[in-house]
Structure 1
Amino acid sequence: MRNARILWDYHDTGTPLAPADAIIGLGSYDLRVADRCAELFHSGLAPRIVFSGASGNWTGGLYATSEAQAFADRAIALGVAGSVISVEPNSTNIAENIGFVRALLPEAGRLIWVTKPQTRRRVSATLRVVWPKAHSMIAAPEHDLAAQPTEHHRFDALVSEMVGDVWRMAAYARKGFQASQPMPPAVRTAFDALVAAGFTHHLPDNMRSLDP
């Protein structure tokens, strides 16, 4: 748990929020992201919402539709008018989320991106490469590590997700897919300990090190 919390705190970075041109909800297994988008919309921070996502590592068969449509349906159930929601149902990773939304909103200058708490650092790092000129603010549902596991994504899957995303941030920065991120010694130590403990389900085969 101590090592999991180190990774949670590392991933869980955000920014202050201010009025924006749109709120972007990144699809996933966690409908609380759609709830947060609806909350921010109702607070008046932006006049429209775009939900982005086809299906990913953990949502195959979870929804009857795309992640984006499932999130849109959730927001409508929470009182957001369908007329202010756009759906981007084709993206399968964070870079595609951002790139496809950019194609939908080419004139947007200020955006609020809403994702899972433990995905905020990856979203921020990817934005700096895929859409660097936009003023992007990063938000997430406001709860702690203990509340993040869901019925469909339990604690062991969550820890494996965080381990895999630490590896991806290091590997993808070397490939130019994301901006380089600091990697504190405590994060490296936690990563190694969790890999040794078997939380490797979100790592590519034979990829167990942060170094090339």
Structure 2
Amino acid sequence: MGDIQQTITEDQWRQTKLIWDYHLMGHELRPAEVAIGLGSHDLGVAAAAADLYHRGLFPTLVFTGGNSPTTRARFPRGEAVHFREHALELGVPDAAILVEPAAANTGQNITLTRDLLADAGIVPATVLLVSKPYMERRSFATARKLWPDVEIVCASEPLELDDYVKSIGDERLVVDMLVGDLQRVIEYPRQGFAIDQDVPEDVHAAYESLIGDGFTSRLIGA
């Protein structure tokens, strides 16, 4: 943890680590017909996707995402467009990349990418879903709901929690984001957006405790 601990306590850090570990699916990487890089504030998604492409895990890479209030300033031309540019800088050939520039949420990331691929004559049976580390479980649950006939394998930049906090530069914001994503894992199945995911008791207790401590800026409706 070192010098990154500035505004959260040891106990809050322990709770955050429980939630971080829960969000990671722990899938074993294997070749897929297509990879999908989910747009967000985190350019590490594009870097991870580029690395996996160079490792020969897939021939076609789709970046998906328009803008959100949290990404408009950083990626003014849209998340997918900027992610594509970063992947090109990292040596992924232009011919291997498709761009879906309109999605405004994870459900649209999945459905609009599925439609884009179908228009290109690609109907994959296996998809490698590349996201922020703490978004693996939510993206998996969303994809399984909306694209149930496809085998989904999740991947993300291989970072430990403290390294991810350093990459973002704001430990309190990271806790807020982890809590917010867990809320969506819990709530979205009831709204028809995702399949159910079992949440262990200790993870749920950590979630409730952190909400009680005010880590609420990324909750639905916040």
Q: Say whether the 8 Å CA contact 1:25–1:50 is kept in structure 2.
A: yes
| In the alignment, structure 1 residue 12 sits paired with structure 2 residue 24 | yes
Aligned counterpart, 1:93:
105
Q: Give 1:32 deviation, angstroms.
A: 1.1
| In the alignment, structure 1 residue 109 sits paired with structure 2 residue 125 | yes
Aligned counterpart, 1:167:
183
3-state SS of 1:136 partner: strand
Q: Deviations over 1:24-50 (max 9, x none)?
A: 111111111111111111111111111
Counterpart pick for 2:76 among 49, 52, 64:
64
Q: How is 1:24-103 mapped onto 2 (pairs within 5 angstroms)?
A: 24-103=36-115
Q: Give 1:82 deviation, angstroms.
A: 1.1
Q: Give 1:127 deviation, angstroms.
A: 1.1
Q: Give 1:115 deviation, angstroms.
A: 0.3
Aligned counterpart, 1:190:
206
Q: Give 1:204 deviation, angstroms.
A: 2.9
Let me know the Cα RMSD of the aligned residues. Answer: 1.5
Q: Deviations over 1:151-201 (max 9, x none)?
A: 666211111111111111221111121101111111111011111111000
| Between structures 1 and 2, the one with greater helix share | 2
3-state SS of 2:37 partner: strand
Q: How is 1:124-143 mapped onto 2 (pairs within 5 angstroms)?
A: 124-143=140-159
Aligned counterpart, 2:193:
177
Distance between the aligned counterparts of 1:189 and 1:16, measured in 2? 28
Letter of the 2:136 counterpart: R
Q: Say whether the 8 Å CA contact 1:14–1:120 is kept in structure 2.
A: no
Aligned counterpart, 2:3:
none
Under a length normalisation based on structure 2, what TM-score does the superposition of the two structures give? 0.88
| In the alignment, structure 1 residue 199 sits paired with structure 2 residue 215 | yes
Q: Give 1:114 deviation, angstroms.
A: 0.4
| In the alignment, structure 1 residue 123 sits paired with structure 2 residue 139 | yes
Distance between the aligned counterparts of 2:221 and 2:29, measured in 1? 38
Structure 2 residue runs without a partner (length 5+) = 1-12
Q: Deviations over 1:26-83 (max 9, x none)?
A: 1111111111111111111111111001123521211231110111000100111112
- Report % sequence identity: 36
